């Protein structure tokens, strides 16, 4: 699924916002829409996009390709919304598995890039699940976090306890510059 015109504009806008930061790598889910979002970011930074399967969208198994209208009629959908920690998509992943997979991938990326800023382009649910994990929020509450297309969420990993610096941000990012750059 390709990005729409609006999605391409959002990707260009986030690339413009991020280019002032000393970013060392751009990593993306292998799915096309994420790669298309990551491309202008990498281009603005003079980097290439690297793919990471660990930040893929949720595998919805037998529900893949169905519309939300079709899914909403299922009793399982109500359970997923009410208590995501107890549900599994038919022939697919549980949200606990998605969270574990995403966190493992992010921590591996962080270990390869100690003390560096890295952009990871992923999907709404994996991002919200990772943010919930790093904020110490129970899995059943992850849907309370909003992650809009083209927004920036930021966490610190490695060396000390993780920290959530930004969630669903669409504004100025200058406070993310490392200390000593004269712009903080």
SS3 122: coil
Predicted confidence at residue 95, as pLDDT, reads 97
Examine residue 182 and state whether it is found in any structural domain, yes or no: no
Q: Which of 161, 158, 151, 163 is nearest to 119 (CA)?
A: 151
- Is the domain of 83 the same as that of 140? no
The parent domain of residue 152 ranges over 5-58+95-176
- Is the domain of 141 the same as that of 77? no
Continuous H helices in 91-137: 95-112, 124-135
- Is the domain of 82 the same as that of 164? no
Q: What is the model's pTM?
A: 0.91
- Is the domain of 30 the same as that of 14? yes
Euclidean distance between CA atoms 133 and 123, whole angstroms: 16
Euclidean distance between CA atoms 53 and 30, whole angstroms: 6
- Is the domain of 85 the same as that of 160? no
The low-confidence residues of the chain, meaning pLDDT below 70, are 180-184
- Is the domain of 52 the same as that of 105? yes
Q: Which two tokens stand for residue 129?
A: 């699940």
Q: Which of 42, 76, 92 is the last residue of a domain?
A: 92
CATH of residue 153's domain is: 3.40.50.1240
- Is the domain of 138 the same as that of 151? yes
- Is the domain of 88 the same as that of 160? no
Q: Which of 47, 76, 92 is the last residue of a domain?
A: 92
E-strand ranges in the chain read 23-28, 49-51, 117-121, 152-156, 163-169
Q: Which two tokens stand for residue 174?
A: 């200058």
Predicted confidence at residue 181, as pLDDT, reads 64
Euclidean distance between CA atoms 48 and 42, whole angstroms: 6
Q: Which tens digits make up the pLDDT trace of 152-171? A: 999 999 878 999 999 999 88
Predicted confidence at residue 176, as pLDDT, reads 82
Examine residue 74 and state whether it is found in any structural domain, yes or no: yes
Predicted confidence at residue 183, as pLDDT, reads 46
Q: Domain count for the chain, please give it.
A: 2
């Amino acid at each position: 699924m390709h990005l729409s015109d609006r999605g391409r504009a959002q990707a260009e806008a986030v690339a413009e916002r991020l280019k002032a930061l000393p970013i060392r790598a751009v990593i993306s889910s292998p799915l096309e829409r994420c790669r298309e979002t990551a491309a202008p970011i990498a281009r603005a930074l003079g980097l290439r996009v690297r793919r990471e399967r660990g930040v893929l969208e949720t595998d919805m198994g037998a529900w893949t390709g169905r519309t939300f209208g079709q899914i909403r009629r299922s009793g399982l959908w109500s359970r997923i919304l009410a208590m995501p920690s107890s549900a599994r998509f038919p022939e697919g992943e549980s949200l606990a598995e998605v969270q574990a997979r995403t966190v493992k991938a992010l921590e591996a990326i962080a270990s390869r890039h100690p003390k560096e800023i890295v952009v990871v382009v992923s999907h709404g649910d994996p991002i919200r699940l990772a943010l919930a994990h790093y904020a110490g929020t129970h899995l059943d509450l992850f849907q309370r976090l909003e992650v809009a297309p083209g927004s920036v969420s930021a966490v610190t990993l490695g060396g000390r306890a993780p920290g959530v610096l930004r969630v669903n941000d669409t504004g100025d990012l200058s406070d993310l510059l490392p200390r000593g750059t004269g712009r903080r």
